[in-house]
Structures are given as C-alpha cells and as structure tokens.
Amino acid sequence: MTQQAQPVAGEAATPEGGRPGRQGSEARPPRRRTSNARRRRVGTTLLLATPAAYFVILFVVPLAVLVVYSFFTYQNFNFIPKFTWANYVQALTDPALRVFYFRTLRIALGVSVAVVVVSYFFSHILMYVLPGAKRILFFLVLVSLFGGYLVRIYAWRTILGRDGALNDLLIHTHVVSHPASFLLNSNFAIAVAMLNYLIPLGVLPIFSAMQNISPHLLEAAEDLGASRLRTVRTIVLPLTTRGLRAAFAFCFIATMAEWVTPQLLGGPLDQFVGNQVLYEFGETLNWPLGAAIALTLIASVVALLGILFGLLRLVTR
C-alpha cells in the first residue's frame, strides 16, 4: 500500500533532473535552475558511484578473476597464465567428484524440501491458527537466525556425540541402553544441522508472502463455503508460490555450496563438492581446478533450479 502512495512523493522530490516536474515546481522562479540541476545530477551520480565502485571492485571483479584463474594451467604446485580447458574437463569428468556431486545433491534436495515444508506449516500456523502469538513467534524465529552459524553447527557435535546430550537423554529415558554412535559423523548429523540454520531463512520469505495475502480473499472463500483445505489449495498455496520458490532456491543454493557442516559433522566419506573446492585451495594448492569446480558447481545449481522450476510450472499449470 505504501508502494502505491510512494511514487507521488518521490516524483515531487525530483522536480528537476531532466524530468518535467509537477505543476508547483514549474511555477517557481527559474533562478539558477539549469546549472543547479546539472550540478545535482553530477552529485547524485558521484554519491551512487561510491558504493557501486566498491561493489564492482570487491564483488564483481573477484568473481571475474576466479573465472580467469579457472582457465590457468597448473604445473608443479604453481599456476601459470596459460589457457587450458583441462580444469573444466576434470571438474566435469572426475568420477570421485561425481560421487560428491550426487551425495551433495541428494542431501541438498532433501534438506531444502524439508525446510520448505516445515517453514510452510510454521508460517501457516502463525498466520491462521495462532494469529494472536504471530508477532512474538516470528520474532523468536528471527532471534534464532542470529544464533551464530559456526556455533550452531559446532553445538550439534556436543548434542549428537557419543557422550552428548541426546545420548544422555536417550539413556536416561531408557530409549537406548548404550550410547548410539551413528548420530554424529553421518549424513543425519549434516542434515539436522543444516535444517537447523536454514528453517529461519525458509520461514522468512514464506511468512512474508502469506502476510501479503488479503484476508478478504480468505473471508470470501469461507463465506462461499470452501473447506479449509480447499482454501489453502486454491488461494494460500498459489499466492505463496513466490515465497516458497525463494525459500527453496535459497536453501538449495546454500546447501549445494556448503562445506563447513560436512567438515565438522560428517564422517570422512560424507564430504560435499564444497569440501573438494576447499581441498584444492587449501591442500593441493591447485587453485585453477578449485576455481573450475566452484564455478561448475554454481552453474549446475542455477541450471538445476531452472529445470526444477520449469518442470513445476508445467505440472501446476
């Protein structure tokens, strides 16, 4: 609603700057108008150019450099600026890396779907079942968002470890007789930790999408005798698809490029593609190959998301 009111105010704020202003500004005395306007336009450009330059130099250029490095030749622990496709060939054909890819993909898909489902139900309850507690519950989710990334991953080591809190609890409640060791250093631990820090990020877009649904629509559906399920299926779900898609995409990208969680909570074999990138950068010092792996990873993630969303659109149409 503020969106609609805003352009009027904004238009009034820039009576000059090459655009025909509103009536009032035309009526003003034309003193120093043109030179002032030009000076202001130069000023605006300069003001915007400062953060833009920073952004370009420290975000766009580094990624461009990464692309350039991915074509460098690796020789005797050194990389020389000689063009080669070899890194990409290896990144795409290495059988060990393919294993990493499929494991990463499997866990990423599972975690992303789980995050979206959990977040959807959570948002739905906040909006329509417990609207009285909406604000405080959403605030709590936001608080947990700032609970620290590394700290939270690390915490699961103390919770899921052999002498950890969960085993402690399970033994005390006589669920198990001796500590379960499969909890830590497993795909299970990785998935739990990622779910844990991604759920707030899933709730965020889905909840805000739901908040934008006009309550009148739901009232109308109710008045016309639609069941709760039907209302959700025909109104709430279609109108939250953007939020759902954003949540899924965000989680999918984050999990596909993750390396800290498998490093700290996975077994030696439960590594992700990201860990291979780390390995090339940190151990073999084959940066060109690491760069090629990282870039093929992001390219395949974007391609997969495109295919997935394309298919979804075909199915739901």
Partner 1 sequence: MLRRWSGRKVGAGVYVALVLIFLFAPLVVVVLISFNATSNMNLQVSGFSFRWYRQIAGDPLVVAAFGRTALAAVATALVSGVLGLTGALGAVRLTPRWRTAVFTIPLVPLAFPALLFAVGLATFYHAIGIGFSIWATIAGHVILALPFVFLVLGAALERFRFSLLDAARDLGAGSFTIFRTITLPLLRPAILGAMLLSMAISVDEFVIAFFTAGSQQTLPLVLYGRINLGVNPGLNAIGSVLLVLTMALAFMAARVSVLEVP
The structure tokens 């330059």 sit at 53
DSSP string for residues in 64-99? HHHHHHTTSEEETTEEES---SHHHHHHHH-HHHHH
Determine, following the binding rule CB under 8 A, whether residue 277 of this chain makes contact with partner 1. Answer: yes
Task: Show Cβ contacts of residue 298 under 8 Å, excluding neighbours closer than 6 positions.
Answer: 257
* Selected range binding partner 1 among 10-18, 83-91, 105-113, 237-245, rule: CB under 8 A: 10-18
Among 38, 40, 98, 230, binds partner 1 (CB under 8 A): 40
Size of the site for partner 1 (CB under 8 A): 95
**CA–CA separation, 285 and 77 (whole Å):** 6
Are 243 and 210 in contact, with CB atoms under 8 Å apart? yes
Task: Classify 271 as helix, strand or coil.
Answer: coil
Determine, following the binding rule CB under 8 A, whether residue 63 of this chain makes contact with partner 1. Answer: yes
* Closest separation in Å from C-beta 188 to partner 1: 14
| CB closer to partner 1, 45 vs 234 | 45
* Selected range binding partner 1 among 63-71, 85-93, 101-109, 234-242, rule: CB under 8 A: 63-71
Q: Report residue 66 CA to chain centroid gap.
A: 21
What beta strand segments (E) does the chain contain? 73-75, 78-80
Beta strands 73-75 and 78-80: pairing type?
antiparallel
Determine, following the binding rule CB under 8 A, whether residue 4 of this chain makes contact with partner 1. Answer: no
Residues 131-170 that bind partner 1 (CB under 8 A): 133, 137, 140-152, 154-159, 161, 163-165, 167-169
* Selected range binding partner 1 among 86-94, 105-113, 125-133, 209-217, rule: CB under 8 A: 125-133
The 10 Å CB-count burial string (b at 16+, else e) for 100-117 is: bbebbbebbbebbebbbe
| CB closer to partner 1, 240 vs 290 | 290
* Closest separation in Å from C-beta 317 to partner 1: 26
Residues 195-254 that bind partner 1 (CB under 8 A): 195-196, 199-200, 249-250, 253-254
| CB closer to partner 1, 107 vs 249 | 249
Determine, following the binding rule CB under 8 A, whether residue 65 of this chain makes contact with partner 1. Answer: yes
